[in-house]
Structure 1
Amino acid sequence: MANPGTPAFSMPPAEDETVRAQADVERRQREDAAARTLEAATIGSGGLTVKGGFIDLKEGSSLHVSGEAVFDGDVSLPAGSLNTPGGSIGAGQDITAGQDVIAVRDVKAGRHADVDQNLTVGGNATVTGDVTTQARVRAAGDIETTGTVGLLRSVGSRNYIVGTNYAGAWINVDGTIGISPSSRLFKGAIRDWSFDPQKLLQVQAKSFVYKQSPVPYQAERQVGFIAEDLDELGLSAFLFYDDTGAVQGINYDRLTVALFVLAQWQEQRLSAIEQRLSAAGI
């Protein structure tokens, strides 16, 4: 008992180690029970919000969303797959999956999409950075990489042999990949075309290396023409230009048309010479 006038106080009882351990066990049991309850839980229209945390999928697990899956940050599934059979997938940053990413509608990533297996999209795939996959990229709609240098790589295509019914792929000025058909079904206002074939004889072949080679000026030398040389000769029909109007490169496939015209011109000259020689009895 404290003496009169002396403030009474009492120290909190020291928590026994056994009591503390028991509390930890009970806490883990409650967390496990909550996780098991969530296995069959239905989330309503309000959705699922994780504040400051994350959704952790153990090895071999997948995330299956019947509607849309939208994430402000990264979507990372190191060993699983992401499947939204009824909606879209949207991520503010990266989409990374150890297996497949499948969406019936659209896939959008604020940065990169890195998928170890297949990326299958029923709608459009839009990625600000790079699209990287070890298997296939399939999209019923458009595949778009919108970064300053948006790359779409297909490393395995170097080992794939196409059949006889193939078409060359071309990149349009807006970055769209497509074909350039030659059938009359796709062409209008058709008329004969000619140019001064002697200009083509003034073009000098060059050898060079690309400045953006892995080791600048030390890569294997290439052969070809310089676009500016053709531009100076007025051969703009065989060139392509950037969005500022500066000459950028040569459409070498169009040069085959010029070579046909050149061959026809030379054939006409030879025929004329032969006729004169024949008339002269030579």
Structure 2
Amino acid sequence: MPKFEELKNTFFYFRDANTIVMVTNGKERLRVNFEGNIRIGTPIPQNLVKKEFEGRLRVIGEQYQGNQPGNIPYVFVATDADENELFTVRCDGLINLYNSPVKGFQITNSLGDWLFLKQERDIVHGGGGFHIYNPWGEEAPHDVNDPRNRLEIRYKMPGGQDTREPVVIHGPTGNIGIGIETPGKDKLRIKGANNGADAALNVTNQSNSSLFSIRNNGEIHLRSLPVGSSTGIPVLFEGGKLIRGGSSKRFKHHIRPLKENFELLLQAEPKSFHWRETGQQGIGYIAEELHELGLSHLVAYDEDGQPFSVNYQLFPLYQLEILKGVCQSTEKLVSECATLTNELAQAKTELQQVKDKLAQMESMLQKRGMGTPVDEPERTGGRH
């Protein structure tokens, strides 16, 4: 306790019927009003006298100029038993919280834990801040669509409205929403704009060149794909989804032979054309024409059932079946040709035999005409 001599320049007096004032060395240091509110510090400017007792405790620091040399004085300092600073407020407005992983930091109210850090700016430029609503609040449900239990970053629009889409981390699930307050069951949900030229998600390299992007109109852009072995698993689009192509019977049921007139593909005519969007020239088949030919398996349809694109990856299946038919026809022709060849060879042999007999008969006739006895063939069966 300070000695009496040390307090001789300190005294208390009633400023009025409602206020007690403490003065030290001729300067006012403390005021306490009849409601128990306390103000610590030198007298405040006359225009702020009405606010001197706003709050149970009001601490007034020294006037500070930004270019003032030396250490910046404190308005408030809280220390531990060893006089290590725990919490300080400086006259320039800087607040320091000296913390360790063991001590932690917590702000609570009767409705649950919450923290609101806000940056105020002017109306033109807007402002922003961090909001934590009831993190792990016992009374708040852990519903993934509940607007509470979240950390939120939000900015004001010019005019002061707090309407810009936030960045949200939902406390109980850890799900993240960008541009949307409730990410739902998705671990990451991004709400894009309605402008198809912009990307809802864009991954770039250090040169800021886009490597992978998902556009607001649903387009997916890849700068390049790696080149690998043909034994890898193909990646396909099906119904707007990126899938791995699988051929194992483990993934299939109701397996049965495909009954199709594969030769209809031979009636399809490739076309040359220009793309409407880019103007670039292209070649290929027209989905509507394949549909009209009855080749529905080779056509991909949109949500309205209209022909959209051609399943070129299925063309080899049809071509192979056509080739099988050609091979079968060829084998049949080869077999028939071999049969005809054998029959022709036999006919040639028989023809040669006929020729030989005719030559023999011609020789016999010539000998008779010259009076030369001709040995008749030996008769059988007795005399006539």
> Does TM, scored on the shorter chain, surpass 0.5?
yes
Q: Give the drift of 1:178.
A: 0.8
1:201 is paired with a residue whose SS is helix
Aligned pairs, number: 206
Question: Residue 5 of structure 2 corresponds to which residue in structure 1?
Answer: none
CA distance in 1, matches of 2:153, 2:175: 11
Question: Residue 71 of structure 1 corresponds to which residue in structure 2?
Answer: 153
**Aligned residues of 1:68 and 1:89 also touching (Cα < 8 A):** no
Alignment of 1:139-150 (within 5 A): 147=216, 149-150=217-218
Instruction: Please point out which of 91, 105, 108 is paired with 1:42.
Output: 105
Question: Residue 190 of structure 2 corresponds to which residue in structure 1?
Answer: 109
Percentage of identical aligned residues: 19
Indicate the structure (1 or 2) with the bigger Cα radius of gyration.
Answer: 2
Distance 1:43 1:132, change over 3 A: farther
Question: Residue 234 of structure 2 corresponds to which residue in structure 1?
Answer: 168
Question: Residue 128 of structure 2 corresponds to which residue in structure 1?
Answer: 54
Instruction: Please point out which of 258, 264, 286 is paired with 1:199.
Output: 264
CA distance in 1, matches of 2:92, 2:128: 15
CA distance in 1, matches of 2:105, 2:219: 39
CA distance in 2, matches of 1:150, 1:222: 23
Distance 1:278 1:195, change over 3 A: same
Instruction: Please point out which of 215, 218, 221 is paired with 1:153.
Output: 221
Query: Does 2:298 align with 1:238?
Result: yes
Query: Does 2:177 align with 1:90?
Result: yes
Alignment of 1:130-279 (within 5 A): 130-134=200-204, 147=216, 149-155=217-223, 157-158=224-225, 160-163=226-229, 165-173=231-239, 175-213=240-278, 216=279, 219=280, 221-279=281-339
CA distance in 1, matches of 2:215, 2:271: 35
Distance 1:183 1:196, change over 3 A: same
Question: Residue 123 of structure 1 corresponds to which residue in structure 2?
Answer: none
Letter in 2 for 1:248: F
The superposition leaves residues 137-161 of structure 1 with CA deviations (integer Å, 9 ceiling, x where unpaired) of xxxxxxx9694x1233332x34x33
Letter in 1 for 2:179: G
**Aligned residues of 1:131 and 1:151 also touching (Cα < 8 A):** no
The superposition leaves residues 150-197 of structure 1 with CA deviations (integer Å, 9 ceiling, x where unpaired) of 233332x34x33345522222221x22111210111111111123223
Letter in 2 for 1:106: K
Distance 1:151 1:32, change over 3 A: farther
TM-score (norm 2): 0.45
Q: Give the drift of 1:272.
A: 1.7
TM-score (norm 1): 0.59
**Aligned residues of 1:70 and 1:89 also touching (Cα < 8 A):** no
**Aligned residues of 2:64 and 2:91 also touching (Cα < 8 A):** no
